[in-house]
Structure 1
Amino acid sequence: MKPSLQFRLSQHMALTPQLQQSIRLLQLSTLELHQEIEQMLEQNPFLEPEDDVPALDLAAAEFERQRNERQSGEDTASSSSDADGGPGDSDAAGIDKADLGTTERDDWENGTEREDFDGISETPRNNDSNNDSDDYDPMSRNAPTVSLQDHLKAQLLGTRLSTEDMAAVEVLIESLNEDGYLADPLEEIAASLLPGDPEDADEDTLDELMSRLRCALGWLQSLEPVGVGAANLSDCLVLQLKTQAPSRIRDVAIDICKHHLELLARRDTRKLMSAAGATEGEVKQAQGLIVQLEPKPGRAFTRAEANIIVPDVIVQKSGRGWKVVLNPDVMPKLRINDLYAQALRASRSPRGTAASEGHTAMSSRLQEARWFVKNIQQRFDTILRVSQAIVDRQKNFFSHGEIAMKPLVLREIADELGLHESTISRVTTAKYMNTPFGTFELKYFFGSSLNTEAGGNASSTAVRALIKQLVSAEDAKKPLSDSQLATMLEEQGIQVARRTVAKYREALKIAPANLRKAL
């Protein structure tokens, strides 16, 4: 082969580390962003929170304050001495102890102040605003809720169970799930308590253990809340019904819960009447009794995790329109440590030395910190721009609610702001907006369009809201089917297929017509 030279011209995009970090920060949620910031603060010494005042600044400010106070005291003493004519008089210092507060007077007399030179308080600060009442408990807000297990164990203290029975009941209590049901069958619990391989266990030992667990289960099911320790929903409802006064309706309800829960869920009154051997009136009364029961006895003791959504932006009324502002609670306040940056600039060493290499490494960390602060600011600027563009497009929503939502796709916002659709997608994911109608993810304001008879378009979000309104206003005895809902939407000028109505109804978690029908 003959060697030859060829020239090729091509274009390609290279993502710099700064651009990669900017993209990554843009798609993070608020919680993930704060975790990223905490990690960066630990790794980069040039980065610090803006609300933290350096110790040197604190010391300098405190020294300046004390010096001003001394000068003020000397000037006052001098003027008082001239007025009273006696520098040796104890009141000539110009300090009237009666004018000082109790705490301040005691501190002055003891020769101490509320804060030392380093700015750290040595005496506890009083916060009268939080101590107006003697019954105030500063930990009341964070007091943990009593768990279901603790509640049940507290009830056992009043029983006269033997040590073995008490231990067996506690084993079952620890086997309960958060709903109050027994998570595992008694056989599996017994097998887990046997030493070694359960298959090699003595049958007499296993039978004795099972007998003790059954007895313990009876004790457990006698505790409050009623229904705890049940194996399934049917067992849970029956346990609650048995605590009520005997009656014909109660017996019918127990029979339905034991054998015919599926028919009850389907609201098949005729088959329920035949299966339970009851009249229509008795079945309806039994249903009314069953719906008053608690299907999850442990619900009241479930400690719900703090899943509060903190909005990234807040929509506020501005004249006749709406404006978007960033939520200050989620905006991190970061800055470059000037003390370290100045020290780095002053410590330049000749090239080729170890000190020079260290200087280069620290310079890169300083540049990294600057990039990080800049990318954080750019992230919130982009979120604000996109949010304002969404609000401008969905003005009617903020005045009339979701039924006035307009069709909107990512491409429209991207073209308006000069950004890529992928950027809009990153911005609107896991970012939330506080509105007069609640807090919504930014993606909520985007929806596909449906044709109307007038030739316009209707948002899928508005159609779902309309379906919700139609279902809420329907006759419970004659609920609307998906076909009827599609017909009613068409009468209002919205062309939508029955399958689409069914999809929207399922998205709204609305049951089919046969399950919405009242008995």
Structure 2
Amino acid sequence: MRQSLQLRMGQQLTMTPQLQQAIRLLQLSTLDLQQEIQEALDSNPLLEIEEADYSEDAAGKNEQKADTDDITVSASADDAPSEYEQDSGEALAKETLSDDMAMDVSWDEYMSAAPASSSGPMPEDESIYQGASTETLHEYLMWQLQLTPFSPTDEAIAIAIVEAVDDSGILTLSCEEILESFNQENDESEDEVELDEIEAVLKRIQLFDPVGIAARSLQECLCIQLNQFDKNTPYINETKMILTDHIDLLAARDYRTLMKKTKLKEEELKEVMTLIHTLNPKPADTIVREESEYVIPDVSVKKIKGRWVVELNPDSMPKIRVNSQYAAMSRTVKSSGDSQFIRSHLQEAKWFIKSLESRNDTLLKVTNCIVKQQQGFFEHGPEAMKPMVLNDVAEMVEMHESTISRVTTQKYMHTPRGIFELKYFFSSHVSTENGGECSSTAIRALIKKLIAAENSAKPLSDSKIADILAEQGIKVARRTIAKYRESLAIPPSNQRKSLI
């Protein structure tokens, strides 16, 4: 076997550090991206935050029209005038970049990386929304407990009861379990606590705000609230009787059997139901709130002069640029180590800014395509949503599906109809009788609309909804209607039935 030297030519895709960085930035959410930018600013002295200029003249230079007649997309920051060249030391820095680093792009291309805007910063009330009280139910009850005159023993019992209340406001332990636990912890005391003392303190806590808290069941919670009504309230005795003896029929909405057993007429039962509806089955919900998730939209969509304008949100990330003074020092410093330090960080700064610009451009392209395809949604609402999958957008913007998936994950669009994740605009299709296609999102919107307009005494069944959609040319199976209804958190027809 003889050895020989052969030359072969081929192509191979290599994941360079720059490409890896660009892909990683592309899939970050706005909050994660802001953190990434801050870390880059902290670690690279050649990066700095550029003060935003929202003057009308500067904004006008950053706007360009898209190819379509009804959509306008703001340009990336590359078109903005560079402030760097106004400084006397910039020429030297530019020469350093050209001579020593052999960059393949012009200096202006990476001087700043930030979303351009044709209308200035978004209003403060549009960028983030909804805050919630940070006070917990336990803290609220303990505050009321401290204001209530209790004996030392009763106060200790009250604390044990409050600690046994969960976030939904239900007492998770029985009075017997609280008694046993309390006596074990206080076995050194001379007098043991009796069960009636536990129950007496519990009744006082159940009258805390909100009334009905620390109830052991839904039935007890409603009865406690009902006992606060005036004794002369119409139908209060009938309501107490139904809550005490027939709450199972009430929960099943079996009004026919309920009228038969209570001997109430339909009009009388309606009055009882009206009174019951004034009660709160979940009083803790008025105190306990889920922590709000703050969302900063990545893009905004507005209709200006008959055109849908798509803009990057300038508040989603700070504008950054290369520090001109540090960049110019690469030729003036005497130490070769310092010069190499500046050059390497200048290269890293250039890569980082280009990656941000690439992220902005890709986000604009994809958002532009989404708005173009889903103009019916922006004009008429979810019922006009068209079926669209990732591959549809990938073909239009000539990118891979995986890239579209990264762009649309955890990215949000501010529209006149609210704030939506970009993923919201993608949905599967359902064939119609005339050979067309209907979006599953549009079908969900139609189901929600039909149920909102139904007669509460005779709610629409899943089969009936399927028949109504079939009359509109949309053939959907009953089980599909049930699946879509459940995804909307809408109960079945027997649970939606109501007399009022």
**SS at 1:346 equivalent:** coil
The answer on 1:225 being equivalent to 2:210 is yes
Aligned-pair distance for 1:246? 4.4
Cα deviation 1:316-342 (Å, max 9, x = unaligned): 224433120111221321122333333
Structure 2 residue runs of 5 or longer lacking an equivalent are: 53-129
Q: Does 2:225 correspond to 1:236?
A: no
Which amino acid is 2:488 matched to? Answer: L
Residues 1:182 and 2:171 aligned together: yes
Residue 163 of structure 1 aligns with which residue? 152
Are 1:252 and 1:282, in contact at CA under 8 Å, matched by a contact in 2? no
Q: Tell me which of 331, 345, 349 is aligned to 2:317.
A: 331
Cα gap change, 1:232/1:35 in structure 2, threshold over 3 Å: closer, same or farther? farther
What residue is the counterpart of 1:316 in the other structure?
302
Residue aligned with 1:328, SS: coil
Cα deviation for residue 422 of structure 1 reads 1.0
Q: Is the 8 A contact 2:432 2:475 kept in 1?
A: yes
Q: Is the 8 A contact 1:467 1:485 kept in 2?
A: yes
AA of the residue aligned to 1:478: K
For the Cα contact (< 8 Å) 2:326–2:342, is it kept in 1? no
Residue 38 of structure 1 deviates from its aligned partner by 2.5
What is the distance in 2 between the residues matched to 1:206 and 1:231?
27
- Distance change (3 Å), C-alpha of 1:428 and 1:142: closer
Q: Secondary structure at the match of 1:317?
A: strand
Cα pair 1:190 1:206 within 8 Å, conserved:
no
Structure scoring higher RCO (CA < 8 A, sep ≥ 6) equals 2
The yes-or-no answer on 1:216 pairing with 2:198 is no
1:434 aligned residue: 414
Mapping 1:230-379, distance limit 5 Å: 230-246=215-231, 249-258=235-244, 260-273=246-259, 280-303=266-289, 305-347=291-333, 349=335, 356=337, 360=340, 363-379=343-359
Aligned residue in 2 for 1:482: 462
Partner of 1:70: none
Of residues 405, 418, 439, the one that matches 2:398 is 418
Q: CA deviation at 1:6?
A: 9.3
Deviates further, 229-238 or 180-189: 180-189
The structure with the greater share of residues assigned to helix is 1
Query: Given the alignment of the two structures, is residue 38 of structure 1 paired with residue 38 of structure 2, yes or no?
Result: yes
Q: Hey, what's the Cα distance between the residues in 2 that align with 1:442 and 1:154?
A: 44
What is the aligned-residue identity percentage? 46
1:360/1:227 Cα in 2 relative to 1: closer, same or farther (>3 Å)? same
C-alpha distance after superposition, 1:241-284 (max 9, x if no partner):
22224479444434544565443232112343456675555544
Decide which of 488, 491, 494 is 1:514's aligned counterpart: 494
Instruction: Tell which structure's C-alpha radius of gyration is larger.
Output: 1
Cα separation, 1, equivalents of 2:245 and 2:342: 74
1:14-29 equivalences under 5 Å are: 14-29=14-29
Counterpart of 2:72 in structure 1 is none
Residues 197-248 of structure 1: CA deviation (Å, up to 9, x unaligned): x8xx969989638665444323211323211122332321121122224479
1:80 aligns with none
Change (3 A) 1:252 1:13: farther
Inter-partner Cα distance in structure 2 for 1:323 and 1:368:
34
Letter of the aligned partner of 1:49 in structure 2?
A: I
For residues 22 and 190 of structure 2, the distance between their equivalents in structure 1, rounded to whole angstroms, comes to: 65
CA–CA distance in 2 between the matches of 1:211 and 1:368?
Answer: 74
* Aligned-partner residue type, residue 220 of structure 1: I
Asked if the contact 1:407–1:446 (Cα under 8 Å) also holds between the matched residues in 2, the reply is yes
Q: For residue 387 of structure 2, what is the aligned residue in structure 1?
A: 407
2:412–2:422 contact (8 Å) kept in structure 1: yes
Following TM superposition, by how much is the alpha carbon of 1:424 offset from its aligned partner in structure 2, in angstroms? 0.8
Paired residue for 2:377? Answer: 397
Q: d(CA) in 2 for partners of 1:12 and 1:184?
A: 66
Counting matched residue pairs gives 421
- Amino acid paired to 2:291: E
- Distance (Å, rounded) in 2 between the aligned partners of 1:492 and 1:415: 31
Structure 2 equivalent of residue 469 of structure 1: 449
SS of equivalent to 2:283: coil
**Counterpart residue type for residue 361 of structure 2:** D
- TM-score scaled by length of structure 2: 0.73
Aligned residue number for residue 99 of structure 2: none
Residues 342 and 193 of structure 1: CA distance in aligned 2, closer, same or farther (over 3 Å): farther
Q: String of CA shifts for 1:1-25, please: whole Å, max 9, x gaps.
A: x686797877543212221121121
Secondary structure of the corresponding residue to residue 329 of structure 2: helix
Alignment counterpart, residue 434 of structure 2, candidates 454, 461, 466: 454
Q: Which residue of the partner structure matches residue 75 of structure 1?
A: none
State the one-letter code of the partner of 2:204.
W
CA contact (8 A) 1:175 1:182 kept: yes
Residues 194 and 29 of structure 1: is their aligned pair in 2 closer, same or farther, counting only changes over 3 Å?
farther
Q: Deviations over 1:66-114 (max 9, x none)?
A: xxxxxxxxxxxxxxxxxxxxxxxxxxxxxxxxxxxxxxxxxxxxxxxxx
Distance of 1:246 and 1:40 partners within structure 2: 69
Q: Is the Cα contact below 8 Å between 2:34 and 2:317 reproduced in 1?
A: no
Of 158-167 and 204-213, deviating more is: 204-213
> Counterparts of 1:146 and 1:15 in 2: how far apart (Å)?
49
* Contact 1:179 1:299 (C-alpha < 8 Å) held by counterparts: yes
**1:182, 1:231 within 8 Å by CA — same for their partners in 2?**
yes
Q: Measured at CA, do residues 178 and 494 of structure 1 come closer, stay the same or move farther in structure 2, by a change above 3 Å? A: same
Q: CA deviation at 1:186?
A: 5.1
Mean alpha-carbon deviation: is it higher for 308-317 or for 24-33? 308-317
Q: Which range moved further: 359-368 or 500-509?
A: 359-368
Q: Closer, same or farther in 2 for the Cα pair 1:246/1:313, shift >3 Å? A: same
The equivalent position to 1:173 in structure 2, one of 155, 158, 162, is: 162
TM-aligned CA distance change 1:380 to 1:511, over 3 Å: same
Match of 2:73 in 1: none
CA distance in 1 between counterparts of 2:178 and 2:39 reads 44
- Once the two structures are superposed, what CA deviation does each residue of 1:414-443 show, in whole Å capped at 9, x if it has no partner? 111111111111111111112222221111
**Counterparts of 1:213 and 1:48 in 2: how far apart (Å)?**
64
Residues in 1 aligned to 2:411 and 2:496: alpha-carbon distance in whole angstroms: 35
